[in-house]
Amino acid sequence: MKQLKTIPHFKNEAEERKFWQTHDSTEYVDYSSVKNVKFPNLKLTSKPITIRLPQTLIERLKIAANKMDVPYQALIKKLLFEGMAK
C-alpha cells in the first residue's frame, strides 16, 4: 500500500475546488474501503415545469441531442443555462 498524502486545510470551497482540479485524489484518499451509501430522503433540486414548444423545435432538439448522445431534456436545460449566463 502506498503512502497517502495529507489533504490540506482549505479556507473556503473555492480554494478546495481549485486544489482538486489540479490534483489526483488517489494520492490522498484510500478508495479500497469505500462503501456505497443511499440517501432515500433526498429531494430533487429541480422542479418539473410544463412548456409548450412547436413540434418542429422539439424534433430538432431530439435530433441534436441524439447526435450528442444526451437526453433531449438535458440539452434543453443546457441551452437554457447557457442562454441565461450571457
Which pLDDT band holds residue 21 (cuts at 50, 70, 90)? very high
* Predicted local distance difference test score (pLDDT) of residue 65: 96
Is the separation of the CB atoms in 61 and 76 below 8 Å?
yes
pTM of this prediction exceeds 0.75: no
d(CA 47, CA 24): 35
* Predicted local distance difference test score (pLDDT) of residue 68: 96
* Predicted local distance difference test score (pLDDT) of residue 83: 94
d(CA 25, CA 15): 15
Domain range list for the chain? 13-85
Tell me the average pLDDT across 19-41: 91
